[in-house]
Chain A
Amino acid sequence: MAFLKDYITEVYQGVRSLLKGMKLTGYYFTHRKEIITQQYPDNKAEMKLPERFRGEVVMKHDDHNEHACTGCTACELACPNATIKIITKFDITPEGKKKKALDTFIYHLELCTMCNLCIEACPTDAIKMAQNFEHSVTDRSKLTKKLNNPGSKIREGVE
């Protein structure tokens, strides 16, 4: 009889789990508010992207046109496909010492896979992922971007 009991429990549990699945899809079928489709070009004004959506790498600049990049090249080393190229220069501090600083932050959008490794590698939180995804251009060279604004300099106190 033990065999029969196992058999019936198996059937019962199978049916139960199937009905559980059908309950969920049935809930979705009857509740239109759950629909997550965004009708993209039509809803450009009120489109809401998920928080973690990654569109491109940008450098954060504050109101005084200052960024937090020290030119340490941690992001360049972290990048798996050589998307980032950092050109450094030497600033002269008021004490007369030479100090390494960022000259140009070159970002090749056409090579980037949005893997987020550079943002995680950055010790000073100088770069972040932006949500802009409309990247189409007519020429490939337009995808190579300079991330630091012209005339920007490193924020005071960022080491």
Chain B
Amino acid sequence: MFSIENITHSIDAWLNQTLNPTMVVLVESVIVGISAITLFAVLGLVLVLMERKVSAYMQIRLGPNRVGPGGSLQTVADTLKLAMKEGLTPDGADKFLFNLAPYLVIGVAMLILAPIAFAKGFQIWDINIGVLYISAVSSLSVIGILMAGWASNNKYSLLGAMRSGAQIVSYELSAGLSILSMIVLTGSLRISDIVASQQDGWWIFKGHIPAIISFVIFIIAVTAETNRAPFDLAEAESELTAGFHTEYSGMKFALFFLAEYVNIFIVCAIGATLFLGGWMPLHIGHWTAFNHVMDYIPSSLWFMGKTFSLIFLMMWFRWTFPRLRIDQLLNLEWKYLLPISMFNLLLMTLIAIKGWHF
């Protein structure tokens, strides 16, 4: 049966035969780095195209349909155009911070990639505090946004960055609490343990209604954390031209753009891991025959399928709901999501202690 695990193992074995152990680690790090960068580039191209097509169909339009078959090469053409553009740095900008910010944002996105399990046995770093690591590192990206907004020396950028700060500070809480309520069930922060605990069913089914509530809260909170509509106050193109990346052009703009889509992928991957079982195929209790049939679909396909359905859900939100005002945004978090998720965590703890989940 096709499996990525076998491929990685055979590469590892082959390298061990030909090189000494230090070199093996170095070469493998380089391979991982190159694959991560390739994944980023491919994700950027695919997700931007997907977003444009989804938005077009939701707005009764056709979307890109000229470049390549069915418009499939549109994003490649756009990337080429961006790569050839001049990367302007404004005269009054803080040049060092201005040029550092996009790399910081993309670097943070790359760091979160480390503990994500893409398929069975295919994970860069199975750290024992994987979920904590993810939630800690993902809040760093706001520093990049604040840096970009501040260094641009532009009122729009500064406003966008400050809004983004307020937004992330508040929505981190409910995202963290909804992750916590799943950790209560799994009893481990290690990603591989979390996936393994969903061997006999995904947590969204096993955890009753509290799991569904925390899934909904998680999706809302990460939509806000990735600065996407209806929570795109940091960009808010109708109010702030482009928010924190108003002054960016060329490849530096492309990096921000790429980071947005990579972040979406990452948070959806985390959501898929916590609630929908990661790479674990759809297993129902002890139906051995059914579980075996499901095992024939490769685990990487399961992971990608779940992640992309969550991405589609976020795109669905984006092209349906109007943007919130800043006071509505904070009301939603502090008056609704936070109390509900606190109560939900309490309920989930009760369920976990009493062992009411399946």
Contact = CB atoms under 8 A, between A and B. Distances in A.
Which of B60, B317, B340 has most A Cβ within 10 Å?
Answer: B60
Contacts, number: 36
A21 B336 contact: no
Contact of B60 (A21, A26, A28): A28
A35 B58 contact: no
A137 interface: no
A37 B62 contact: yes
B320 interface: yes
B125 interface: no
Contact of B57 (A11, A24, A29): A29
A29 B61 contact: no
Nearest to B318: A25
For chain A, what secondary structure do more than half of its interface residues adopt (helix, strand, loop), or is it mixed? Answer: helix
Contact of B62 (A21, A24, A39): A39
Interface in B57-84: 57-62, 65
Contact of B58 (A11, A28, A37): A28
Interface string A29-56: 1001011110100000000000000000
B321 A35 contact: no
Given A22-B316, A25-B320, A35 B336 contact: no
B214 to A, nearest CB: 15
A35 B60 CA distance: 4
Contacts of B65: 39
Best-buried of A24, A35, A39 by chain B (most CB within 10 Å): A35
A18 interface: yes
Given A11-B336, A29-B57, A32-B57, A18 B316 contact: no
B320 A21 contact: yes
Contacts of B212: none
B61 A25 contact: no
A11 B317 CA distance: 17
Among A18, A29, A35, residue most surrounded by chain B Cβ atoms (within 10 Å)? A29
A22 B340 CA distance: 23
A36 B59 CA distance: 9
B319 interface: yes
A29 B54 contact: yes
9 contacts: A11-B336, A22-B317, A22-B320, A25-B316, A25-B319, A28-B57, A28-B58, A34-B60, A37-B62
A-B interface, 8 closest residue pairs, ranked by CB to CB distance from nearest: A25-B58, A37-B62, A25-B320, A21-B320, A29-B57, A34-B60, A37-B61, A29-B58
Interface of A: 11, 18, 21-22, 24-26, 28-29, 32, 34-37, 39
